[in-house]
């Protein structure tokens, strides 16, 4: 439009200039064609020629515009469809963020076919369907997204695994996460999703192996990694213990990173499993080495429960810890048991009575009852048994 206006202004200016310069000298033009004779001035000829050319140009533009009109109409309609699709996509996302799952799903799917990134519509619609409890629709949308954009397979699988975990479909989530790892073993989020699925499925050995990979430390927070690895390894130690596989128990411990062996719960489980598989000396050595450096209530209790080959040395060790760590209930009970093994009845009773004064427990009353039995006091032993049972029942 602007270009046409400029051409018209230039034509008028040219005509005005010609009229100005030719007003004194009109000139003469004669044209004869097949018996037709046209006579005019130069100015008239120029103006007439300009008029004819202008008319032809306008007619040509109208003709070309008429030919292009259908395509232009199609382009306008397509642009309007795209604009409506984009507006619908944005509205759907807003409803999704606002928690209006039903309206979100409707908006995201309604004009998805006209959206330039329809796969994003379907991925978001899958999340809305998930919140509505429509698992079939969720999977349908994920399938549509995968077919429309095969190049975003990883994004589709990640979304699928995440939604499966939310719905507690752990076996399906594991398989989806494994497909993701086949595409990209170094994808951190795929590792996280796989770890969560294995944890919920109690597949402890697979989880333990996965968490030993470097990528697992990057994928999970330090707290979550420790929680998962500790649980997986404890469960594997228990399995080795139940199967009476001392070699397997030690192999698991040797394969554990050194910094993890200092975790109290893990260390205690290993020591208890050693003791139950007739490796009491190794269990006691682990407890003694640890307590020589730091306090560990679980290992102190275990050390006092086990019967050492040299009961006097065991008692001396516990008394040394009493000097270092103070009169802790775990050490007092352990000292009382060691005195019983050494037939030091009075000393055993002294330690155990000190426990029940500050922290009465079924274990302390049980050992006191045994002391009374050994010293021929059955009535008092009966009283201690009763008190221990009462505390156990209350707990």
Clarify whether residues 259 and 302 are in a common domain.
no
Taking each continuous run of H as one helix and of E as one strand, the counts in the chain are 20, 2
Clarify whether residues 298 and 273 are in a common domain.
no
Clarify whether residues 230 and 268 are in a common domain.
yes
Question: For residue 266, what pLDDT is reported?
Answer: 96
Write out the two tokens for 247: 């070699």
The 10s digit of each residue's pLDDT in 225-251 is 999 999 999 999 999 999 999 999 999
Clarify whether residues 311 and 388 are in a common domain.
yes
Domain assignment of residue 237, yes or no: yes
Burial annotation 50-73 (CB, 10 A radius, 16+ → b, else e): eeeeeeeeeeeeeeeeeeeeeeee
Clarify whether residues 329 and 372 are in a common domain.
yes
Domain assignment of residue 233, yes or no: yes
Domain assignment of residue 131, yes or no: no
Write out the two tokens for 312: 């006097």
Clarify whether residues 316 and 392 are in a common domain.
yes
Domain final residue, candidates 278, 310, 344: 278
Clarify whether residues 300 and 322 are in a common domain.
yes
Domain assignment of residue 384, yes or no: yes
Domain assignment of residue 191, yes or no: no
Do the beta carbons of residue 186 and residue 192 sit within 8 Å?
no
Please spell the DSSP secondary structure of 2-57, one letter per residue: HHHHHHHHHHHHHHHHHHHHHSS----EEEEETTEEEEE-HHHHHHHHHHHHHHHH
Average pLDDT over residues 271-284: 95
pTM: 0.73
User: Containing domain of residue 323, as a range?
Assistant: 291-395
Question: For residue 21, what pLDDT is reported?
Answer: 61
Q: Considering only residues 118 and 47, tell me which one the structure prediction assigns the higher pLDDT.
A: 118
Clarify whether residues 241 and 309 are in a common domain.
no
Clarify whether residues 270 and 296 are in a common domain.
no
CATH number at residue 366: 1.25.40.10
Domain assignment of residue 298, yes or no: yes
Residue 379 confidence class, pLDDT cut points 50, 70, 90: confident
Clarify whether residues 321 and 385 are in a common domain.
yes
Domain assignment of residue 303, yes or no: yes
Q: Which residue has the tokens 């076919």?
A: 113
Average pLDDT over residues 135-164: 86
Clarify whether residues 268 and 324 are in a common domain.
no
Q: Considering its fold, how many domains does the chain have in total?
A: 2
Q: Which residue has the tokens 């060790």?
A: 317
The residue among 381, 357, 354 whose CA lies nearest residue 370 is 381
Clarify whether residues 259 and 348 are in a common domain.
no
């Amino acid at each position: 439009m602007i270009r046409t206006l400029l051409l018209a202004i230039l034509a008028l200016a040219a005509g005005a200039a010609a009229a100005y310069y030719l007003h004194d000298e009109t000139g003469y033009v004669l044209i004869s064609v097949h018996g037709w004779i046209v006579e005019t001035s130069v100015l008239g000829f120029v103006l007439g020629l300009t008029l004819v050319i202008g008319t032809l140009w306008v007619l040509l533009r109208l003709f070309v515009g008429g030919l292009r009109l259908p395509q232009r109409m199609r382009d306008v309609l397509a642009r309007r469809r795209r604009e409506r699709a984009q507006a619908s996509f944005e509205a759907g996302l807003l409803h999704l963020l606002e928690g209006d799952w039903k309206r979100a799903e409707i908006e995201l799917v309604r004009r998805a076919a006209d959206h330039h990134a329809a796969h994003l519509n379907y991925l978001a619609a899958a999340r809305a369907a998930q919140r509505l409890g429509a698992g079939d629709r969720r999977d349908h949308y994920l399938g549509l997204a995968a077919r429309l954009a095969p190049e975003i397979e990883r994004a589709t699988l990640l979304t699928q695994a995440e939604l499966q975990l939310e719905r507690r479909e752990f076996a399906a989530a594991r398989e989806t996460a494994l497909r993701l790892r086949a595409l990209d073993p170094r994808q951190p989020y795929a590792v996280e999703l796989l770890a969560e699925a294995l944890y919920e499925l109690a597949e402890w050995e697979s989880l333990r192996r996965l968490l030993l990979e470097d990528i697992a430390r990057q994928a999970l927070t330090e707290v979550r990694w420790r929680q998962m690895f500790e649980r997986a390894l404890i469960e594997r130690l228990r399995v080795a213990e139940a199967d009476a596989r001392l070699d397997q128990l030690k192999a698991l411990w040797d394969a554990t990173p050194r910094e993890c062996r200092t975790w109290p719960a893990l260390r205690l489980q290993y020591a208890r499993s050693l003791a139950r598989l007739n490796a009491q000396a190794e269990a006691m050595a682990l407890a003694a080495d640890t307590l020589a450096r730091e306090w560990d209530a679980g290992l102190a209790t275990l050390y006092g429960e086990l019967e050492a080959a040299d009961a006097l040395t065991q008692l001396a060790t516990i008394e040394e810890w009493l000097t270092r760590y103070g009169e802790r209930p775990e050490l007092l009970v352990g000292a009382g048991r060691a005195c019983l093994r050494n037939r030091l009845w009075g000393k055993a009773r002294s330690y155990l009575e000190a426990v029940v004064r500050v922290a009465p427990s079924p274990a302390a009353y049980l050992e006191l009852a045994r002391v009374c039995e050994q010293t021929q006091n059955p009535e008092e032993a009966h009283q201690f048994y009763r008190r221990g049972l009462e505390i156990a029942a209350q707990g």
